[in-house]
Amino acid sequence: MSNAAQSAPGPIASALLSRLAENWWLLLLRGLAAIAFGVIAFFWPGITLLSLTYLWGAYALADGVFSLGAAITGQGGDTSSRWWLALSGIVSILAAAIAFFWPGITALVLLMFIAGWAIAIGVLEIYAAFQLRKVVKNEWWLILSGVLSIAFGFAMFAWPGTGALAVIWTIAWFAIFFGCTLVGLAFRLKKYKRS
């Protein structure tokens, strides 16, 4: 079998690239929201747990809305290439709702909740990356974003007893790196946008 036949992208991968490229700016907004959250949390180390909960909830809500926006917008009725974006958006919006409606949760519960959210988002991003990889050569931004999310989640599960300041800074660094990978991916996808 020839290399061209082996590397031919499937319809799901082509549709995924098309949807992501058309909505590259929503991915950019997700990345900028993550960076803003990280910078605020990093440079405001005296933040209270309640404030951190609301700040993280606002970020998760923005991330969910941007993900759902990317899943909903786009031409055609083919939803098979957008389901992971919709699921990612729903997970983020549910996470934000929990943060807003139960803000009095303890630091450990908040930490475990954020860790679980990061792992779920990371798995969905890696799935999307492997679909996208069939269309875009050397595409690694989304894989890196997913791996960072999963690694962050497992690190939070493994070392939950860290101090509040360390937790805030860890979350801040994760958000900044995660946001940078999304911004990088957004600009890469912009090149594939149809004129």
Residues in contact with 139: Cβ distance below 8 Å, sequence separation at least 6, in sequence order: 129, 132, 133, 188
CB neighbours of 143 closer than 8 A, spacing ≥ 6? 125, 126, 129, 130, 133
Q: Report residue 99's pLDDT band, with 50, 70 and 90 as the boundaries.
A: confident
Q: Is the pTM of this model over 0.85?
A: no
Model pLDDT, residue 1: 44
- In the chain, DSSP finds a helix count (H) and a strand count (E) of 8, 0
Most confident of 7-11, 55-59, 117-121, 139-143: 117-121
Q: What pLDDT score was predicted for residue 49?
A: 67
Which structural domains are found in the chain, ordered by start? 11-190 (1.25.40)
Residue 150: what pLDDT?
Answer: 94
Distance CA 41, CA 189 (A): 29
Q: How far apart are CA 140 and CA 150, in angstroms?
A: 15
Summarize the confidence of residues 181-191 as an average pLDDT.
86
